[in-house]
Amino acid sequence: MGTVQILGTVQILGTVQILGTVQILGTTLRNQNYIQDEINNSLKLGNASYPSVQNRLSSSLLSSSIKIKRYRTVILTVVFYGCETWSLTMREECRPRVFENRVLKRIFWSQRDEVTGTWRRLHNEVLNDLYCSPNIVWVIKSRSMRRAVGSVCGLTDRGVDDFVGMWMIE
C-alpha cells in the first residue's frame, strides 16, 4: 500500500468528503479542483528539475539535438505527469507555452544576424521552427484525447494511438 500525504482534513462518512486539500500521487485534490493549480504545480516541478540539467542545456559544447533530448527526457516527463486529466482552455494554454519558450531560449540562446553581423535573441516563432517537435500544448491535448478515446471506446494503447493520430491529422 502506498503512502498518502494529507495536507488538510479528511472526514469519512461512508464516502470520502474533502474539506481541505489532499495530495495523492503528486495531484492535489480539493473540494473544487482548479486546473490552473495543477498546471502551476506541474510547471513548478519542471522548473525544479531544471537545475539538474542546467549545465548541459547551456553548454556550447553540446549540439542542440542532444540538449533537446535532455529537455524531453528530464524536464518534460516531470511536466507531463498527470496531464492526461487536464482540459485546457485558451487562458490555461498560455503558461505551458511560456514555460516551453523560456527553456527553448536557454537551449538555442541567440543567433548571429547574417546581414548586420550582430547577435540577436530568437523570437518564439523562430524557436518553434528550430525545435521541430509538437509544442507542449499540442502534446497535452493529444494525451488527454488519447485518454478520453481509450476510456470511451475501450481501445488498446496501439488502437488509441492510431485513432487519435488519424483524428489529429484530419
Which pLDDT score is estimated for 61? 86
Terminal-to-terminal C-alpha distance of the chain:
44
* CB of 95 closer than 8 Å to CB of 40: yes
* CB of 96 closer than 8 Å to CB of 136: yes
Provide the β-strand partners of residue 28: 23
Is 5 in a helix, a strand, or coil? strand
- Chunk the chain into consecutive blocks of 10 residues (it has 170) and report each block's average pLDDT, rounded to whole numbers: 59 62 65 75 88 82 86 88 81 88 84 79 80 85 76 57 48
Question: Measured between alpha carbons, how far is residue 132 from residues 79, 82, 127 in Å?
Answer: 19, 24, 9
Which pLDDT score is estimated for 166? 47
Is 137 in a helix, a strand, or coil? helix
How far apart CA 138 and CA 145 sit, in angstroms, is 10
* CB of 11 closer than 8 Å to CB of 19: yes
What is the chain's Cα-based Rg? 20
Which pLDDT score is estimated for 8? 67
